[in-house]
Homo-oligomer: A and B are copies of this chain.
Amino acid sequence: MNDTHESESMPHVVILGGGFAGLAVAQQLKRTDVRITLVDRRNFHLFQPLLYQVATGELSPANIASPLRAILERNKNVEVLLSEIERLDLENRRVYLSDAELSFDYLVVATGSTHHYFGNEHWRQFAPGLKTVEDATEIRAKILEAFEAAELEDDPNVINALLTFVIVGGGPTGCELAGALAEVAHRTLKHEFRKIDPAQAKVMLVEPSAAPLHFYPSPLPTKAAEALSGLGVDVVTGYHVTDVDDCSVTLKASHDASTRTIQTRTVIWAAGVKASPLGEQLCQQAELSPARGGRVPVQSDCSIEGNERVFVCGDLAKFDDPEKGDLPGLAPVASQMGRHAAKCIQADLKGKPRKPFRYFDKGSLAVIGRLHAVGSIGRFKLHGFVAWSIWLMIHLMYITRFRNRVLVLVQWGWAFFTRDRSARLITGPSRIHSQTSPSEQARSA
């Protein structure tokens, strides 16, 4: 590069994480005189809101993942590094990667969140969560393999367990997964098997509170529960999970001590998230006490106390909005925080004061099956077809890169008119042999 000397003198902004927050920082700083290094362990930005459609075979991973380098090709001040982050050193302003070291003038940490099993990490092997492309293809394989194993099975109890799918957590992801999974079982696979009837499959959604989407304003939670029931989802409210193993999940009533054990081979975890491990390091070095879920408390400008050149954005941050309270872990929150951190850097460079961050809530929507969504846009509470149309438009609009928009639209159109889902591949290491062992275990159990 010719401009080595010139660029060396420019402030160096290091962004950790290429999700919604990290990408927003880089994009907002496109024409600012800074050198930017964006570090991610993956070479793509993932449009996580549609990940459940990969898990249920409607879309391919590449449809919702865009190469970071392609997105940032024209951002000439951005260098992308594919690496693992090993250690931060806030005092000396350094970041240690698995194969490089960076020094920074500004740091934006936006490494997001991971699944939270609330101290029961051993449940992870039986109840995968949905955060990454690998999670999605693993869940997709698990769901499809359960039907395949049922077709090979003779014992009606084992068949029942194989055709029972339990989704833990009635937030947007849980509701969207449950709706899509009911469609897969009751529509897509309906005529494809010869011995079993996929339409007999049971999809259960377990939620500890009184209704799914309980943080949505009334009457939306009720409407969501009705829509799910209409799709054949068994909505189990007022129960939380007390145990998960390879052939069952145990529930306990939130109000009395009664328990239920459900025989199942497929449990999907949509019950909670916690901050990425980098949060702990950050809190230690900045002498902050982590907020619920290990998140890093940030100040009104999204920087952390005592380190005004270190910003934390997105799911990793705990931001208390004066009006809206603790901000949820949503893509728009992350994008807006990222953009705000970038604006603070721009203000610093111009010698202007930083402004406090304000979240502009455009609303949020969760899709429940075909033609139906539930949520709010501004002050309007919406459910049904209108909500679904708005959801569709917004998601198509926000999908990164035009090509993926076209591909997603073609596949949605196809799935809509034929009720088929073609991205139903079982890939990865063969688990066919392991299909027999749980069934044998169940027999002996």
A residues whose Cβ falls under 8 Å from a Cβ of B:
1, 41-44, 60-63, 65-67, 69-70, 73-74, 79-84, 98-100, 133-134, 137, 144-145, 148, 151-152, 189, 191-195, 401, 403-404, 406-407, 410-411, 414, 418, 420, 422-428, 430, 432-433, 435-436
**Neighbouring B residues of A426 by C-beta, 8 Å:** 42-44, 82
CB-contact partner of A151 in B67, B70, B81, B148, under 8 A: B81
In the complex, the answer to whether B430 meets A191 with C-beta atoms within 8 Å is no
Q: Is the pair B134, A428 in contact by a Cβ cutoff of 8 Å?
A: yes
Q: Is the CB of B194 within 8 A of A70?
A: no
Knowing A61-B60, A425-B43, A436-B98 are in contact, say whether A152-B193 is a contact too (CB < 8 A): no
In the assembly, how many copies of this chain are there? 2
CB pair A144 B43 closer than 8 Å: yes
B425 touches A62 (CB 8 A): yes
Q: Is B79's CB under 8 angstroms from A194's CB?
A: yes
A422→B193 contact, CB < 8 A = no
Give Cα A191 to B151, complex, Å.
Answer: 50
B410→A422 contact, CB < 8 A: no
11 A-B residue pairs with CB within 8 Å: A43-B426, A62-B423, A67-B192, A70-B420, A82-B152, A82-B426, A83-B432, A98-B436, A134-B427, A403-B422, A406-B410
Rounded to whole angstroms, the CA-CA distance of A278 and B63 in the bound complex is 37
Task: List 11 additional A-B contacts (Cβ < 8 Å) besides A1-B195, A79-B195, A84-B432.
Answer: A43-B425, A62-B424, A69-B189, A69-B192, A81-B152, A82-B148, A82-B151, A82-B432, A99-B436, A407-B407, A407-B410
Known: A192-B73, A432-B83. Contact between A424 and B43, CB under 8 A? yes
CA distance A189 to B425 in the complex (A): 29
The docked-state distance in angstroms from the alpha carbon of A65 to that of B144 is: 15
CB of B401 within 8 A of CB of A422, answer yes
On whether the beta carbons of B425 and A44 are closer than 8 Å, the reply is yes
